[in-house]
Structure 1
């Protein structure tokens, strides 16, 4: 999981994440956050509010499912 997240973050310069709220229950955590950055290759900036569903087992993150609104702006920052 760490390597996957590091790879995503490495695709951007000035990447930032700000957590607004989270709700935990059982082996899942829902996180509302904002992410922003600049595409490393395209130099295009993006800023989006997203929700993520994290799966947790034995105190460790085992799954991450992001729910992106207007994901095309993030994708265009990468191209």
Structure 2
């Protein structure tokens, strides 16, 4: 079976070394970079790992509100 020509072209034009060389080793911090929301959720994840190393932390609506990314709902419950 013949190899796809796109595979050969991709291999000939591989930029992996250039891309990986753009960020010096040890400087990428994906969990705490990108603004207040990412920083806050990253911090929560760090603290959570102390008790539950396998646990995950996701941004919640309250995290969005605290970071001024979203506004609280103005809806009232059926009792309100």
TM-score between both structures, scaled by the size of structure 2: 0.25
Structure with more helix by fraction: 2
- Whose relative contact order is higher, 1 or 2, with alpha carbons under 8 Å and at least 6 apart? 1
TM-score between both structures, scaled by the size of structure 1: 0.26
Greater CA radius of gyration, 1 or 2? 2
